[in-house]
Chain A
């Protein structure tokens, strides 16, 4: 039985009528064509699908869309403000912390959620937090540097 679901995606309200059991990831990608969140494993084990739901790190592949009803969903497309990149986006760019880049949206959003909760994390805290996100090009070294760089620049990161 289809349900009416309202999502606030990157600040814009979207209404979909769909099977409430569908993953949030599928609805974002297939219905709303918001393709920044990626499919990586379908079981919340790789972080490629990471979005922020009301500011909290969320694996959209294993979140039924019904759970996201009336929630604020931030994807990678919603991080920059106009032409001005979010400091994590800029840090990934500056450090060249990107190879194929498929994991990058999830990495950046996971890191944004971390810095939102803990603006000044230790290396151990970054590694512990980011361990849920896989990069198969294995760019972890540069990703870690990028997160450190962004963290060093701020006292507080505001998530739109």
Chain B
């Protein structure tokens, strides 16, 4: 149960004409307010609706007024704790509200990710917006519509069943009398009615009646993006603001023993803060803050700690794995017996390197203290969660911290933590002025958390007919997502084992599913080859899951798998892979070209089929799938953190090679709209089939099996040795 009474009431825009912003004594005109709405910079002032929640982070059990506010100008303010970071939640959630309120989507003013204004809908993570927050918003909107309809019925003294709602207007079917939402918003009764809780059993619009959902509504603030008007977290400017820099240790695990700060303290306009291991500098420009830091960095004495290098990381993770007596696999049948009886047994190990999310906007935050209340604008995945972190680390009362997340410059699971927010808050407190902390790319590469590295051990047994009878899969360190095999195998043993990761690790787009699917789908290819079977036929022979079969067959058909498989040469290979995660299914066929002299892999063509239930926004889903495919190329081919003695060796775009225009292959995406199940999120799973499909294509061309991501360097070493 979250004790959060910070939202008292959501004001209607009209009330803002004379409102004073509590922090800055700034008069907000109505026009400004409307502009601020889309950037989340609005501040509430008055009292009213309780904002208690049933369960933390699911956005349920709240008052209707905490989700929906009807405005007298015909617009509707809708509130969600979710963040827009490029994945399309602003459009999708606006559509969800518009659908149930029976209004055009341009009437919706979506206020997002503000811990004072919006419900806690949980972190923006795990593809949860679609299956969890969309239904929560729809329930809120549908409850609001029902309450408004009932209010009209009461005013006219007619049964709600005789009323029709369309385009924000309630019509009495027999008399033709009309009332708009805007008319009703003037009534005091609405405020009282909206204190009711959102109903969890209100009827939601069935897929076949969707008018707004299911269409390609563009991102509502897209014009502000192309004009540069949108303010990202790193763009926020407050009056009198300073820019901050933090002194970082020279290596992981190093602790500060002493430092002479006098040179920085003597610099004009520079604020220096030392609090234990925290040493920060704030100045009127970031250049000046950096100069201050550099003036004293050389005087620091550090105690360093040993740290394994990326060259030995897989041995290290295996050595520290919690396997054997320390954990128990999930089993079916008898794996030992099946392996003993098998006609052929294969045993291989796959590795996956640590990689960085490298969002285009590195971590950034502005912090401002006013009368002991902290307001932070930050690029993080969860305003309520980071607020909780700040309350704990800064020892501030919960109602004295507000976190606002302006639509930010991507995250891919990499911005769960609010380091820059805390750093800015510490500096701002000491300076007595707002402070902006914006991480450099090198800081983001070094001090943000990484996608976990993985060591995955696979054993498989084939009977004399080439059927897969035994499957033993031990995945060390990445986590358990997509670890279960979707294939029909009688005897299995599956284990997700933790290890002691020497690198700070955390969420990433589809997280462990990429590693686990890479190992599984590569190993399936090895088993198919051992069985003398076509990779597609071998998979289908072991696959009962109809949804995966559908996408696999669709990808193969559109790619023309059988004939292209016959045309494989030492320079051109084709491969395929499939998988499921987060209740969506994917399959990809790829063609690669091999430059044998240079040892280079060039992906020519990716044909991917994807299904995540009823499609809520086709254009946005296409962007997400295309984005996953290209991002998948990076981890498959080149992306890899290199480190030694606790230092990152490739902390720049010059040395850590993310996909660029030249890497983009021909991409075919086939979206399957399956309307008889609930919608699942679509921004993650499309990434998991790319790496194994590429590896399998390289094998088809060269006979070389690449068992580690990234694959490019290993192939070069093999072909040029």
Contacts and interface: CB of A to CB of B under 8 A. Distances in A.
Interface of A: 18-19, 21-23, 26, 29-31, 33, 35-36, 38-43, 45-46, 48, 75-77, 79-80, 85, 89-90, 92-93, 96, 98-105, 108, 126-128, 130-131, 133-142, 144
A148 to B, nearest CB: 13
Interface residues on B, range: 35 or more
Nearest to A106: B360
Q: Main SS of the interface on chain B?
A: loop
25 contacts: A23-B287, A26-B285, A35-B232, A38-B234, A38-B360, A39-B362, A40-B361, A46-B653, A76-B227, A77-B228, A85-B226, A93-B218, A93-B222, A96-B620, A99-B87, A99-B624, A100-B407, A100-B410, A101-B225, A127-B662, A127-B664, A134-B658, A136-B360, A137-B627, A141-B664
A108 B231 CA distance: 17
Interface of B: 85-88, 216, 218-219, 222-223, 225-232, 234-235, 237, 243, 285-288, 357-362, 407-410, 412, 438, 440-442, 619-620, 623-624, 626-631, 652-654, 658-662, 664, 667
Contacts of B442: 42
A45 B652 contact: yes
A41 B441 contact: yes
Given A100-B408, A131-B661, A36 B626 contact: no
A18 B360 CA distance: 28
Contacts of A99: 86-88, 410, 623-624, 627
A135 B223 contact: no
Query: Which 3 pairs between the two chains have the least Cβ-Cβ distance?
Result: A100-B86, A36-B228, A102-B409
Contacts, number: 173
A129 B463 CA distance: 54
A9 to B, nearest CB: 12
B234 A39 contact: yes
A77 B227 contact: yes
Contacts of A135: 360
Nearest to B660: A131
B374 to A, nearest CB: 23
A40 B441 CA distance: 7
Given A93-B223, A101-B86, A101-B225, A139 B360 contact: no
A140 B237 contact: no
A18 B628 CA distance: 43
A75 B659 CA distance: 25
A40 to B, nearest CB: 6
A101 to B, nearest CB: 4
Contacts of B88: 99
A135 B627 CA distance: 9
Which of A26, A100, A133 neighbours the largest number of chain B CB atoms within 10 Å of its CB? Answer: A100
A3 to B, nearest CB: 13
Contacts of B237: 33, 35
Nearest to B288: A19
A48 B87 CA distance: 19
Given A19-B287, A102-B360, A140-B661, 16 more contacts: A29-B235, A31-B285, A38-B232, A43-B652, A45-B654, A46-B360, A76-B226, A93-B218, A93-B222, A99-B410, A103-B360, A128-B662, A135-B360, A137-B627, A140-B630, A140-B660
Contacts of A142: 623, 626
Contacts of A127: 661-662, 664
Contact of A105 (B85, B228, B362, B667): B228
Nearest to A35: B235
Given A41-B441, A101-B225, A108-B226, A134 B235 contact: no
B225 A98 contact: yes
Contacts of A90: 226
Contacts of B222: 93, 96, 98, 101
A36 B357 CA distance: 23
Contacts of A131: 660-662
A37 to B, nearest CB: 8
A79 B227 CA distance: 8
Contacts of A46: 360, 441, 653
A23 B653 CA distance: 19
B593 to A, nearest CB: 16
